[in-house]
């Protein structure tokens, strides 16, 4: 008879049996519970981490970076053109009508808010839960939060039509004899999103201060030693030229020195930094849950069929986590492929963990989709039931059935691939599923908003909504703004929290011996 699994593990831990030679991918896909998978590959040391992370900000940008930011900037230019055009001509250039007056702009607003949701979740909640694998993705996820909230903020401002009255969105009491309605979830939305944006920005910036000080000190060290780093610019022809009259280290020393606000790596600085970081993580965590709950109240507190449901807050929060993780993977997997040594800090184990979260949250979202139908049937509300069947799901009756089934295919079916280990350990498959989920989450907001409004109550007012070219180009512009900001972040700011990455290295463990193995006491 063979040995029991527990007996085999006990013998391995005692050094009396050999460790199984299992397929390990990049070295982190270790399935043996007796072996701790490394969070950083190739036995890198502290200085290696510093050189790798600072190198992304200090070395000249590669050709793909120029190509990407050129395309994203051109897309962002669409927003710079479309928004003034909208303001000059009015919202009549959109495909809105009296029934579907929340269609495109609020779909995009909720989509971007959802993307921004996961960044703080990854960083704050995983920080409080002491999840060490967060160190590979938390900085990029926090940056993604800020940029997504910026994109989200565009749409409530411009969808009101007369944008110069956008200040009325803010709770300014008794101005022009207009009192804010504190019972309205739209007002709660202003408080929630502005607070979330402020705390997320503080959380992101404060976490970067030690790394900005490292970049400052490296620039200062080169200036003092006379080792000047050349300012290289890549031409479209592929050649690189040096601009000798620009001393980039002087600029870096000034800018990074200004941003690092006098950080000196003293014990007192670290002590206060860690306390403040923990406090901000504690403040951010309820905000993560509250922001998208309140966004869902914009719909749930109405009496519109398809919106009037109490499942919306947890449904929106799970969907935001789902879509946010997908966006993180969508951004980082290509960077992992093209940036040197990036795969050593973002390993296959990190990707697999996030794929598992996408699978779990995707099933939660799928459960919510199913519960909407059940509650509509169980509640015996014919209007509610009609929305779900005749406006969304039935291909023979629902005009927007294609949008609904696109949502189901992307959000419910595609993550099921992650039940297979080979699929959730394959970066290309993970990236494709993440792309499908991102598309599906946009369609989720489109389905909720448009299918409920275009056939609301009076059949005489039923109309179809189709986006105009202004609608589409404005959304493309917001995507361009998001990607441009992220590419600038990837080039000029530290993409990893160096101190946190170093803290998960074996050398940071006081029980580690010189050979990198932990002691037994």
Q: What is the pLDDT of residue 179?
A: 72
The string of DSSP codes covering 10-27 is: HHHHTTSSPPP----TTT
Instruction: Determine the Cα–Cα distance for residues 179 and 95; give it in Å rounded to an integer.
Output: 31
Cβ pair 412, 366 in contact under 8 A: yes
Q: Looking at beta carbons, which pairs linking 427-433 to residues 24 or more positions away fall under 8 Å?
A: 427/333, 427/336, 427/337, 427/348, 427/351, 430/329, 430/333, 430/351, 430/354, 430/355, 431/329, 431/330, 431/333, 431/334, 433/326, 433/355, 433/358
pLDDT profile of the chain (521 residues), mean per 10: 59 60 65 78 86 90 90 94 90 80 84 82 81 86 91 84 74 68 79 85 91 93 81 71 79 93 91 91 83 84 85 87 91 93 90 93 93 90 88 89 94 95 93 96 92 82 87 94 95 91 82 50 34
Are 57 and 492 in contact by the 8 Å Cβ rule? The answer is yes
As a whole number of angstroms, the distance between CA 262 and CA 251 comes to 16
416: left (phi over 0), alpha (psi -120 to 50) or beta: alpha
Residues near 190 by beta carbon (within 8 Å), at least 6 away in sequence: 169, 170, 171
* Residue 518: per-residue pLDDT: 45
Contact of 218 with 54, CB cutoff 8 Å: yes
Closest to 107 in 3D by CA, of 403, 321, 309: 403
DSSP 8-state code for residue 418: G
The total of other beta-carbon atoms located within 10 Å of residue 362's CB is: 26
**Residues near 348 by Cβ (< 8 Å), separated by ≥ 6?**
25, 26, 28, 29, 425, 427
Contact 103, 465 (CB under 8 A): yes
What confidence score (pLDDT) does residue 133 get? 84
Distance CA(22)–CA(31), nearest Å, equals: 8
Distance in angstroms (rounded) separating the CA atoms of residues 470 and 83: 9
User: How far is residue 258's CA from residue 216's CA, in Å, rounded to a whole number?
Assistant: 9
Contact between 324 and 114 under an 8 Å Cβ cutoff? The reply is: yes
Yes or no: say if 219 and 249 are a contact pair by the CB < 8 Å rule: yes
CA dihedral sign, ordered 24, 333, 278, 295: negative
Helix runs in 301-347, H state only:
312-338, 342-345
Of 145, 17, 152, 161, nearest to 83 by C-alpha is 161
Answer whether 391's CB lies under 8 Å from 398's CB.
yes
Contact 312, 306 (CB under 8 A): no
- Which 3-state string (H, E, C) describes 60-103? CCCHHHHHHHHHHHHHHHHHHHHHHHHHHHCHHHCCCCCCCCCC
- Whole-number Å distance between alpha carbons of 134 and 138: 6
* Alpha-carbon span 445 to 449, nearest angstrom: 6
Start-to-end C-alpha separation, the chain: 34
Contact call for residues 504 and 496 (beta carbons, < 8 A): no
Q: Which helix (DSSP H) or strand (DSSP E) does residue 205 occupy?
A: helix 185-225
Burial classification of residue 1, based on how many CB atoms lie within 10 Å of its CB (0-12 exposed, 13-18 middle, 19 or more buried): exposed
- Chain Cα centroid distance, residue 397: 36
Predicted local distance difference test score (pLDDT) of residue 1? 47
User: How far apart, in whole angstroms, are the C-alpha atoms of residue 213 and residue 269?
Assistant: 12
CA distance 148 to 164: 23
Strand, coil or helix: what is 18?
coil
Instruction: State the pTM of this model.
Output: 0.87
Burial class (CB in 10 A: 0-12, 13-18, 19+), 16: exposed
CA–CA dist 152, 130 (Å, integer): 30
For 233, the enclosing helix (H) or strand (E) is: strand 232-234
């Amino acid at each position: 008879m063979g040995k029991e699994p527990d007996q085999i593990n006990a013998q391995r831990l005692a050094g009396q049996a050999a460790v199984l030679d299992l397929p390990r991918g990049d070295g982190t896909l270790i399935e043996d519970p007796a072996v701790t998978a490394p969070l950083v590959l190739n036995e890198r040391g502290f200085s290696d981490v510093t050189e790798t992370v600072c190198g992304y900000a200090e070395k000249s940008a590669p050709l793909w970076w120029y190509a990407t930011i050129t395309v994203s900037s051109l897309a962002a230019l669409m927003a710079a053109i479309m928004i003034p055009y909208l303001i000059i001509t009015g919202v009549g250039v959109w495909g809105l009508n009296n029934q579907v007056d929340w269609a495109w702009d609020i779909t995009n607003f909720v989509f971007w808010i959802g993307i921004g949701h996961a960044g703080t979740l990854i960083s704050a909640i995983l920080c409080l839960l002491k999840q060490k694998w967060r160190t590979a993705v938390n900085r990029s996820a926090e940056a993604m939060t800020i940029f997504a909230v910026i994109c989200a903020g565009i749409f409530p401002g411009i969808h009101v039509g007369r944008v110069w009255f956008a200040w009325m969105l803010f709770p300014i009491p008794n101005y022009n004899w207009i009192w804010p309605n504190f019972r309205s979830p739209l007002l709660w939305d202003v408080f929630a999103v502005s607070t979330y944006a402020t705390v997320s920005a503080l959380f992101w910036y404060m976490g970067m201060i030690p790394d900005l000080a490292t970049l400052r000190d490296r620039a200062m060290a080169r200036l003092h030693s006379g080792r000047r780093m050349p300012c290289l610019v890549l031409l479209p022809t592929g050649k690189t030229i040096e601009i000798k009259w620009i001393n980039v280290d002087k600029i870096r020393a000034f800018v990074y020195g200004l941003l690092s606000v006098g950080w000196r790596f003293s014990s007192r600085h670290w002590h206060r930094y860690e306390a403040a970081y923990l406090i901000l993580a504690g403040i951010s965590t309820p905000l993560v849950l509250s922001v998208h709950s309140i966004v869902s109240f914009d719909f749930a507190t109405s009496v519109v069929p398809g919106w009037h449901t109490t499942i919306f807050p947890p449904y929106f929060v799970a969907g935001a986590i789902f879509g946010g993780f997908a966006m993180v993977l969508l951004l980082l997997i290509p960077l992992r492929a093209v940036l040197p040594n990036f795969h050593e800090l973002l390993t296959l184990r990190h990707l697999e963990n996030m794929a598992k979260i996408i699978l779990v949250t995707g099933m939660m979202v799928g459960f919510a989709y199913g519960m909407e139908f059940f509650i509509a049937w169980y509640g015996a509300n014919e209007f509610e039931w009609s929305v779900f069947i005749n406006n969304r799901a039935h291909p023979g009756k629902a005009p927007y059935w294609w949008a609904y089934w696109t949502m189901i295919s992307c959000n419910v079916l595609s993550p099921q691939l992650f039940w297979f280990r080979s699929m959730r350990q394959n970066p290309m498959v993970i990236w494709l599923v993440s792309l499908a989920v991102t598309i599906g989450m946009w369609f989720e907001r489109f389905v909720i908003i448009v299918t409920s409004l275009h056939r609301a109550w009076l059949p005489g007012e039923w109309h179809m909504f189709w986006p105009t070219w202004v609608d589409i180009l404005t959304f493309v512009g917001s995507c361009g703004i998001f990607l441009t900001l992220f590419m600038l972040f990837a080039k000029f700011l530290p993409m990893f929290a160096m101190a946190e990455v170093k803290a998960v290295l074996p050398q940071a463990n006081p029980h580690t011996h010189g050979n990198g193995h932990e002691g037994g006491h």
